[in-house]
Structure 1
Amino acid sequence: MTTDAAVALFQAISSNNLEGVRLLITAEPRLLTAVSPSGLSPVLFATYYGRPEIMQWLIEAGAPLSVFEAAASGQLPALRAQLEDYPALVNATSPDGFSPLGLAALFGREEIAAELLARGAEVNRPSENALRVQPLHSAAAGNHSALALRLLAAGADVNVPQHGGFTPLMSAAQNGNAELVEALLAAGADSAAISEDGRDAAALAQEEGHTAVLAILRATQHDPEESPNALPTPARETGA
């Protein structure tokens, strides 16, 4: 396997050139085990770049699937085979810092997430990189509602911030996902939490024009001045 061929392969994947990938792999099958400068296999690289056709072709061409490739690409039989042989891999860390559950959440692989949770995956484990995202952060950011609800049922922390101070509720609000916003609030999410740039979930919903979500969030914020049960202030008592 030559360095130039590997570079060409990852360039073909990033540019969504399926025919180029076919030609390169056919000429040099060992490229299926190539590694990108960031440490990703061709299958993971194609998954990150949102190239499902290339990802599937690579798998069918015989690309080896570690627990990380299996989790990210949604290959349940391959995942089970890995975990049957090496159960500790359920909480392993990928070259770019994600657990198998983190990858499943990132790419919306609900069936994979269910399998990992059943095998003891740590639901609140953050990524070991600068993002510090937990699986719930990734599911909320990706708008993967069903998977996010499954993580909540497994005990995911609704208020832990990721890099930048973003919480799952902020991501759900920014996406306009009313169902998930309501579920997160019901699970104890703090609607008053502020990101490092000074925005809360309501501000993010308002910026994106998600009026239904904004109404839900505002309903959780109580103004004692307007509450019918609020005690009178001294100014009210004196008529000042």
Structure 2
Amino acid sequence: MEATAELIKAIETNQKKTVELLISLSPELASSTLSSGLSTLLLASYYRHQEMVDLLLKNLVQIDLHEASAIGQTGLVDELLDCNPFSVDAFSADGFTPLGYACYFNHYDTAKLLIHCGADVNLASDNDFKVAPIHSAVACNSVEITNLLISNNANVNVMQALGATPLHTAAHNGNHQLVSILLKAGADKHARMNDGRTPLEMALEKKYKELETFLV
């Protein structure tokens, strides 16, 4: 347990040498999980520590559908879905779908395959965030995946926790292109979050005054 905790801390703080040493002493640590059930591989992915992801992969015998989707191993995703097609919309330990991961980590080919295999483009995460795939795509500023989701009937006005729509996020990020794409697809520029804020107010809070023309 102590070694697992040390490994988790080393991954979070991006201490590659420590992770290498711990795994060299106990290779099974690469397969360990947090108390929440989240794998160390997904933890490293969340922290965007690619070297950690690569290191853990070298010491893992196998990875599951959620992990494969999060790191963009499209070929493996295809194989895993072929073995168990009904897992395409399964929730991970922290409540996300394979498509949600592919969108959040900006893996277009993986997202495209998952949709082709029947993934629900409007299925929100099974946790307090209630994040739909399009929220994740917009959050990571992926024009390509956002367009992919819209072309497959994603709801552009879907609300996540606190009532935020994809347009709120795009405005908050100052992403002109995504704001334009979402508006063209029918996004409501007057939508209000639970606290009453509109996409325009989100943009102005971040001083993206140039978005005012699109959002008034």
* Structure 2 length-normalised TM: 0.97
Aligned residue type for 2:141: N
Counterpart among 199, 203, 208 of residue 205 in structure 1: 203
2:76 and 2:21 mapped to 1: Cα distance?
26
Deviation at 1:63, TM superposition (A): 5.1
Counterpart among 128, 131, 142 of residue 133 in structure 1: 131
In the TM superposition, 1:100-111 aligns within 5 A as 100-111=98-109
Aligned match of 1:18:
16
Aligned residue type for 1:195: M
Aligned match of 1:124:
122
- In structure 1, list runs of 5 or more residues that go unmatched: 219-240
- Whether 1:96 aligns to 2:94 is yes
Deviation at 1:77, TM superposition (A): 2.0
Task: Judge conservation of contact 1:65–1:78 (CA < 8 Å) in 2.
Answer: no
1:195 and 1:51 mapped to 2: Cα distance?
32
Task: Judge conservation of contact 2:31–2:60 (CA < 8 Å) in 1.
Answer: no
Deviation at 1:183, TM superposition (A): 0.9
- In structure 2, list runs of 5 or more residues that go unmatched: none
Aligned residue type for 1:59: L
With over 3 angstroms needed to count, the CA separation of the structure-2 counterparts of 1:25 and 1:160, relative to structure 1, is same
Q: How many residues were matched structurally?
A: 216
Counterpart among 136, 142, 148 of residue 150 in structure 1: 148
With over 3 angstroms needed to count, the CA separation of the structure-2 counterparts of 1:82 and 1:44, relative to structure 1, is same
Structure number with higher relative contact order (C-alpha < 8 Å, ≥ 6 residues apart): 2
Task: Judge conservation of contact 1:33–1:64 (CA < 8 Å) in 2.
Answer: no
Counterpart among 192, 195, 202 of residue 194 in structure 1: 192
In the TM superposition, 1:153-192 aligns within 5 A as 153-192=151-190
